Amino acid sequence: MPNAFLGTSHFDREQFAEIILENMLPERVPTEDEPVALLSRRGLVEELEVTGVGEVEGVFSQDGTLGGDLFTTVLGTLYRETTSLGAMGVTRVPSFAGGDDQIVATTGARLKHYNGTTFSTPTFPDSANVVAVGYLDGRFLAVRENSDRVYYSAIGDGTSWDGADFIEAESEPDALRDIRILNGTAALLGSQTIEFFATTANASLPYQRIQLRSYGQGLLNVNACDVVSIGARDSLAFVSADFGVYLDTEKVSPPWLDRKIEDVAGAEILLFGFVLDGHHCFAVSLVTETFVFDTQTGAWADFGSSGNKWGAIGSAVHNGLTVFAAAGIAKVVKFGGETENTDSALDGNTEFTRTATAIIRSDYPFPIDDITAEMAVGQTTSSTPPTCDMRLSRDQGETWTSWRSASFGATGKYRTRATIRRWGMIDAPGAVIQWRYTGNDAAVRPRLSAIKYNTLAASRDRG
């Protein structure tokens, strides 16, 4: 019973068969025939409905900041949980930074401040707009629009800004686009370079550029970056001005993804990190697609919600769990429980699809008597056994057979095999198999360990 080669990372390149990995991530499983199995992501469920209309543009929460409450913007208005605080001036994905008892925020217009009681517009040098904010060692940091300057506040006071209190990113004359704090330093992300600043013991010059530490790639646009924790260390993930995706100095995007980013350059591209079942990931959200990178396995996957791009567009950590801004609705969402599969908060209990791809290689003709998907079976609580679908292409994905369905077990039928028989002949260079499962059965969270063909036991009833 040979195994087809199971695709463990999404691949979409012209002139090649597309390897679709949708809403699943690979994980090493030492007991399986294959070195990895594919596990379904969990669906998104509601954490908080901010208001009845609009869309959450961004979300922020931080332990120790104003009780760890959730802050969002909806239609350009700042909210603390469900309480409206005031207008931000522009509707855009926001940038937040928090101290113990206050936050600052911007959507690319005037800087805003909130101290738990008062929402205000601080007096900022030259009344300039601010594109992004941060907080490091007691001071707030604000990136001035169309400049290489980052202003710093008085200690512990996000309303106090002096026109002489700034640092400059000087290695290149490129304008700054964002700022991120990681490993006790401030990363200043420009259009051509990224520079790092650390705190000093000099109160009149509290930050200083770290010599010989800079990246030779700039940031494509604001909010196309995030800090991703990998073990005990933070790393900077960002979409570069040359359309690549980097994790620190390592380029992790394949050429097909670079091309997709280039094709939508000019539109707002978002990057945000999250943790899913121990997998430290980040998502790159394009106009109509979302691609997720798993830092543990190096795999890319396409995350989607009901045929559209993934409904999450930004993230934060709230009460120890990742939460997301939900696209198209005024809600904050999170991953559902261990057996929750539905994107209920986004799609009104609509099912979402998981898809995987496998390759059969051959230099000569032979018949495919059966194809079996090795899966977790017999888990449903429904009276109707769940089914998966498979189809086959003999010409590298140019044309396909019709989808055919196989049951993978009524409740307690743990020896069921998801097998479909009589596929006909294939010849060189082989065939492509697609597998999919669409459903929202709360007990079914698909695991795909292998795609096998011409199995010796395919004709034996194991129900």
- Model confidence pLDDT, tens digit, residues 179-216: 999 999 999 999 999 999 999 999 889 999 998 899 99
Helix (H, G, I), strand (E, B) or coil at 64: coil
Residue ranges of the chain assigned to CATH 2.60.120.260: 5-42+353-453
Supply the pLDDT for residue 458. 52
**What is the pLDDT, as a whole number, of residue 253?**
97
Q: How far is CA 23 from CA 99, 104, 122, 355, in A?
A: 36, 35, 43, 7
Strands (E), 20-156: 24-28, 36-40, 44-49, 56-60, 71-74, 77-80, 83-87, 95-98, 103-106, 112-114, 119-120, 130-136, 139-144, 149-154
pLDDT reported for residue 408: 85
Residues 380, 443 contacting (CB under 8 angstroms): yes
Torsions phi, psi for 260 (to 5 deg): -65, -40
What are the backbone angles phi and psi of residue 357, rounded to the nearest 5°? -135, 145
CATH top-level class of 44-335: mainly beta
pTM over 0.75: yes
396-445: per-residue pLDDT in tens? Answer: 999 999 999 998 877 777 788 889 999 999 999 999 999 999 876 666 77
Separation of alpha carbons 360 and 237, rounded Å: 35
pLDDT for 99: 94
**Dist CA 215 CA 6 (whole Å):** 36
The two structure tokens encoding residue 76: 């350009």
- Where the chain has pLDDT below 50, the residues are 348, 459
Ranges in the chain annotated CATH 2.130.10.10? 44-335
Q: Residue 59: CB partners within 8 Å, gap ≥ 6?
A: 70, 71, 72, 314, 315, 316, 323, 324, 325, 332
Q: Write down the pLDDT at residue 7.
A: 93
* Residue 171 in tokens: 């290695």
**Which numeric CATH code is attached to 5-42+353-453?**
2.60.120.260
Q: Is 398 left (phi over 0), alpha (psi -120 to 50) or beta?
A: alpha
Dihedral sign from CA coordinates of 450, 454, 456, 458: positive
CA 137 – CA 197 distance, rounded (Å): 12
Please say whether the dihedral angle defined by the alpha carbons of residues 279, 298, 184 and 197, taken in this order, is positive or negative. negative
Please say whether the beta carbons of 168 and 148 come within 8 A: yes
Q: 120, 129, 128: which is closest to 102 by C-alpha?
A: 120
Answer left, alpha or beta for residue 435, where phi above 0 means left and psi between -120 and 50 means alpha.
beta
Q: For residues 239 and 252, give the distance between their C-alpha atoms in angstroms, rounded to a whole number.
A: 10
Report residue 258: phi and psi, to 5°. Answer: -55, -40
344: left (phi over 0), alpha (psi -120 to 50) or beta: alpha
Return the bridge partners of 209, or none: 197
- CA 112 to centroid of chain Cα atoms: 27
Dihedral over Cα of 125, 129, 131, 134: its sign: positive
Question: Cα separation of 23 and 38, whole Å?
Answer: 10
H or E stretch including 258? Answer: helix 255-263
Please tell me the distance from the alpha carbon of residue 443 to that of residue 306, in angstroms, as a whole number: 19
Q: Enter the tokens of residue 144.
A: 């001035």
Two tokens at 113? Answer: 């401040």
Contact 7, 359 (CB under 8 A): yes
